[in-house]
Amino acid sequence: MVYIPSDVNKAVRRKLERRRYSDKTVKSYLYWINRFLKWSKKELRYVSKKDVSAFLQKLQNKNLAGNTMNTALMSLKFLFEDVMERRMWINIKYSKVPKKIQRSLSKQEVNQLIKNVNNPQHKLMVALMYSAGLRVSELINLKVEDLFIEKGYGFVRNGKGKKDRIFVISEKLKIPLKQICLQKKKEDFIFISNRKNKYTIRSLQQIVKKTAKKAKIEKWEEVHPHTLRHSFATHLIEQGDSVSDVQAMLGHKSPETSLEYIHKSGKMLNIKSPFDYL
């Protein structure tokens, strides 16, 4: 029997969160589901496969990217098949736009970028993003209790995929990190703005881009926080670290058994941050 939720948004969100989908995916799915319902002007019980196909065709006529079309399709399939337990049998696969190869900076450019950050806290944040390969969202959510500075590592809590992962702390950053952490409680965020608020992703993006321009880095407009993460991975490979180590450090394939072993023993992976070689 088909289940008709009284509150579609609440039902979809609950199911997505139970399956540990990211906040970004939840927001995206809800957007397309609500856009479809607004377009169809029908109660859920009366929506047909033909309605879904017509909606997707309308989107396709607007020449939307393949990735966007696939997200819209998967959102509606999730609503009908996973939430309502109703088989729609919509088996369409839109072609994806080829991904552009991500840019990485040279070690000289990274050094140049960091040197041109005037604000001491901003400088530390940019250096930590690069030296540990952190996503900007992971950086701004770091808490004092997540760092084991003397042992040379820290933990990203509830990162992408809602998983914890370990990251290396550069020897060069131990003293400034200690100094900033001594002023806070263990449950406090490490980096707080002058207004006593947690930094936003947007604010860090602006800091990195403005500094890249100031540092006169070629094609500075293409430099953003994720460029530092990509540069971290590239430089690890260049200095001889294995692909599997790099993948683990980036959180793409971080084995839980290794995570537990490192946490319990206090030992760090046999890997050094490229920041120590600048």
The tens digit of pLDDT for each residue in 25-73 reads 889 999 999 999 999 988 888 888 888 889 988 888 888 777 888 888 8
> Tell me, what DSSP letter sits at residue 88?
-
Residue 252 bears catalytic tag: yes
Q: List Cα–Cα distances, 78 to 13, 141, 160, 198, in angstroms.
A: 11, 30, 21, 34
Active-site entry in 135, 165, 230, 235? 135
* pLDDT at residue 98 in the model: 54
User: In terms of pLDDT, which residue wins out, 144 or 255?
Assistant: 144
Of residues 3, 10, 24, 261, which has the active-site annotation? Answer: 261
Q: Residue 46 catalytic?
A: no
Which is nearest to 133 in space by CA: 237, 268, 226? 226
The pLDDT score that the predictor gives to residue 85 is: 81
- Structural element, H or E, at residue 5: none
Segment 220-230 mean pLDDT: 90
Q: Is residue 95 over pLDDT 90?
A: no
Pick the catalytic residue from 123, 229, 230, 235: 229
Predicted structure pTM score: 0.62
Q: Work out the pLDDT band at 265, boundaries 50, 70, 90.
A: very low
Active-site entry in 143, 184, 226, 272: 226
**What is the per-residue DSSP string for 157-206?**
-S-GGG--EEEE--GGGHHHHHHHHTTS-TTSBS-B-TTS-BPPHHHHHH
From CA 147, how far away is CA 156, in angstroms rounded?
Answer: 9
Condensed to tens digits (0 to 9), the pLDDT of residues 160-214 reads 656 778 899 999 999 999 999 998 999 999 999 888 888 999 999 999 999 999 9
Which position has the higher pLDDT, 2 or 157? 157
131: which 2 tokens? Answer: 């030296």
User: Is residue 226 annotated as part of the catalytic site, yes or no?
Assistant: yes
Domains plus CATH for the chain? 8-83 (1.10.150.130), 107-277 (1.10.443.10)
